Structure 1
Amino acid sequence: MPHRKRFRRYLASVRRGLHILAAPVKGDNGRGGLFIQAYRGFGSRDRVFLMGRVFRQPGFGADMREDSLRRDLLDVVRRLLRKPIVGGLVRVRYKDTTAVVETDQHGYFRVDMNLGQMPSDVTWHVVELSLDQPTDERATTTGEFFTPTHTAGYGVISDIDDTVVYTGVANTLKMMWRLFAQGADSRVIFNGVPDLYKGFHDGPEGNQGNPLIYVSRGPWSIYQVLVEMFRLHRIPNGPILILREWGMKRGSLLPRRARDHKLDAIRHVLDLYHSMSFVLVGDSGQHDPEVYSRVLQEYPGRILAIYIRDVSADSDRAEAIAKLAEKVRDSGCELVLSDDNRVLAEHAAEHGLISEDALAAVQRTEVSASAGHEPA
């Protein structure tokens, strides 16, 4: 009997996973043709940035129920067979403002356009997207972007890999297994992350709606999985910027280094929110401390704190970060290095970034003995 229950649970997990993997191609109801996939964007009072991709995908399975296993399997196959549209023209409309952008050699498009003045009490906005070239009246969809309200006190830019989730974010199958087969309580997310990030979002006074923008070195194929993972673990909603293809130029065989991508992405966010201060969160495994230190030098007075999750067992790396922390301190900021989110939360509460209630919530979180290491 226990084996049968376990099998049923795994089967249900596979069904959920397949549905998430199939989600990006479901907008055409199995008919095939051209399809626009939009990713969450972010904006200010008068500007918006968002990304998306245009595909041509085969059509089969339209006569099957939307929630059937066979339909999900066919949609996954359709996702594998879809082809990007190069040089397509995407029309983006928000209220009375319209822009037309072109897809690159991978089918991606980037929208960075001026807007009229928007109401200050709305955080999520809807844009309409359609194709001018190649033409297909069915290839229409909507996207959404976030704008902070007047209550926001500061923003957060956070890495995802080894900061929010354990190593392995780029391994889609491994992440899917942990997320769906092991459940929402599996060791996918570092302990304390949901409460700490909710504390950031709420701010010291509560309900401030501080914006959180997430960046990842994983491929765009995991975008939908990350969205579902954030939902299951109740991590505050926010735009997710995938760095792997962002910034790739036409004709280039290889993408630029992820470090350059991250620096460009952070600059873009800080320039868009030119009057807002930010908290930067990352890990010690890559170049986050160096990148964030450079951001601090380029934007003096704009960075409130730098939090680095310690995932490295290298003493030389720890010494290098300690020296970097001294330079950061000389610039009027603090770099906090720890493998325990309670330490980060204590510093954030002490400096008025989160409330005492948020700190208590993080402190109540049981710390896993394997924190900072990839779970089996």
Structure 2
Amino acid sequence: MIKQALHAVAWRTEKVIDHIRGQRDTRRIIEPYIGYATPDHLVVRGRVLTSVRRNKLKPNQSRWTNFKQMFALFLTDEVANAEVSSSNVAARSDEEGYFTLLLPRDDRTGWIDVEVTVSGEHTTALCPVMIASDEADFGVISDIDDTMLQTGAYSLLRNLWTSLTGNIATRRIFPDALSFMSDLSAGGRNPVYYVSSSPWNLHHFLVTIFDKAGLVRGPKFLRDLGLSKTQFITGTHGDHKGNSIDTLLAANPDLPFVLVGDTGQHDAFVYHDAIKRHPGRIKAVVLREPGPGPDGQSRAVMSKIEKTNASLLHGPTFDGFATQLKPPAKAVNPS
């Protein structure tokens, strides 16, 4: 009862604030997210806001400045029910400003930019879309925190401190993650996707860190932490990751997948469930062991993964794992 009452108050408060903001600022701006492709569609994604915050990094700025800039990323003024369009296909943003456009797919592969317009506005945005190659050997779905990005997510306090007081210059990608993902992507032949419980507010922040470090580029599936009409935070950590995996396997029906994560947030549980839901589709599970390493429950689930048809690779780094995951060389027919 208390949770329901708090949710009702928070929901009404947010609606009042949104209404006031909507009267004060009528601008419509698109924040592009990286899209992906299914066998039939280009999935173009983004969010309609009244403004987009891009913090300017100052030399040697303090943790307090970092915190204020990170906090500002969550002060979004989203626009609901805005019509967006591209190539004669239109959609409307939801209550948190998010939109998805499903455009007909053609024969192109690789990276393309799709121009999207908000109806009634003069501004447009280019939304990038990654289209997997027809020659891909497998796809890769990777977690972000403590898998690619040094965070300390296995400790709640460490996670909050690192996330809220860092900036694009202080946050670090694991060096072994750079080479590992580069080897797995094989020069872009194999598609790479990132799934994280980090909020969509951090999309540009994460893209900037990835690009700065040289990490393989890929669509991100982040989490909506906003209020919905039925719950405080939309979905749980495990549900979000599991649903994203299901979506990506459906988008690439002919590809096996390598699932990459860590033992700090119980990715083994999520990946073991994915193996059961998609028999024969998971080629391997790769887990980094940060901090104290896997607890007893994670070790038990890892043992279950070893008894499936998926390979399990785990350790404090990813060094040497890419070699074990390379597909066998294709035989050459003598002429």
The TM-score range, normalised by the shorter chain, is: 0.7 to 0.9
Give structure 2 stretches of 5+ with no counterpart.
1-24, 59-68, 153-158, 330-335
Q: Is residue 90 of structure 2 the alignment partner of residue 100 of structure 1?
A: yes
CA contact (8 A) 2:140 2:192 kept: yes
Contact 1:175 1:188 in 2 (8 A): no
Q: Which of these residues, 291, 294, 300, is aligned with residue 273 of structure 2?
A: 294
Partner of 1:333: 310
Q: What are the Cα deviations for residues 187-243 of structure 1, in whole angstroms up to 9, with x where unaligned?
A: 7122311111100011xxxx4621110122222232222111111211111112212
Pair 1:275-2:269 in alignment: no
CA contact (8 A) 1:57 1:81 kept: no
Q: 1:81 to 1:230 in 2, by over 3 A?
A: closer
Q: Residue 85 of structure 1 corresponds to which residue in structure 2?
A: 79
The one of 161, 165, 170 equivalent to 1:174 is 165
**Does residue 38 of structure 2 align to residue 44 of structure 1?**
yes
Aligned counterpart, 2:145: 161
Query: In 2, are the aligned partners of 1:151 and 1:208 still within 8 Å (CA)?
Result: no
Distance 1:50 1:117, change over 3 A: closer
**Residue 321 to residue 81, structure 1, CA distance change in 2 (3 Å):** closer
Percent of pairs identical after alignment?
A: 25
Paired with 1:160 and 1:54, the residues of 2 have a C-alpha distance of 25
CA distance, structure 2, for counterparts of residue 308 and residue 81 of structure 1: 34
Q: Which amino acid aligns with 2:107?
A: M
Matches within 5 A, 1:133-148: 135-136=120-121, 138-148=122-132
Aligned to 2:118: 131
Contact 1:152 1:209 (8 Å CA) reproduced: yes
Aligned counterparts of 1:290 and 1:80: Cα–Cα separation in 2? 30
TM-score between the two structures when normalised by the length of structure 1: 0.68
Structure 2 residue identity aligned to 1:200: L
1:297-326 CA-partner distances (Å, limit 9, x unpaired): 111111111011112526xx5332332233
Aligned to 2:9: none
Which of 180, 196, 201 is equivalent to 1:221?
A: 201
State how far apart, in whole Å, the 1-side matches of 2:174 and 2:270 are.
Answer: 22
2:295 aligned residue (318, 329, 333): 318
What secondary structure is seen at the aligned counterpart in 2 of 1:39? strand
2 CA distance for matches of 1:82 and 1:152? 38
Work out whether 1:191 is the aligned partner of 2:180: no
Alignment map for 1:245-260 (pairs within 5 Å): 245=225, 250-260=229-239
Matched, 1:117 2:106: yes
Q: Deviations over 1:122-150 (max 9, x none)?
A: 30122221123xx22x2321211001122
Gaps of 5+ in 1: 1-30, 59-66, 70-75, 356-376
Mapping for residues 12-23 of structure 1, pairs under 5 Å: none
Distance in 1 between residues matched to 2:184 and 2:72, nearest whole Å: 39
CA drift at 1:350: 2.6
8 Å CA contact 2:266–2:298 kept in 1: the answer is no
Amino acid of the structure 2 residue aligned with 1:129: V
Q: How far did residue 99 of structure 1 move?
A: 2.6
- Asked if the contact 1:32/1:57 (under 8 Å) is kept, the reply is no
Cα distance change, pair 318–46 in 1 and its aligned pair in 2 (3 A): same
How far has the Cα of 1:48 moved from its partner? Answer: 2.2
Query: Does structure 2 conserve the Cα–Cα contact (< 8 Å) formed by 1:284 and 1:312?
Result: no
Q: CA deviation at 1:114?
A: 5.1
Contact residue 260 and residue 286 of structure 2 kept, 8 A: yes
AA aligned opposite 2:214: R
User: What is the CA distance between 1:161 and its match in structure 2?
Assistant: 0.6
Aligned to 1:73: none
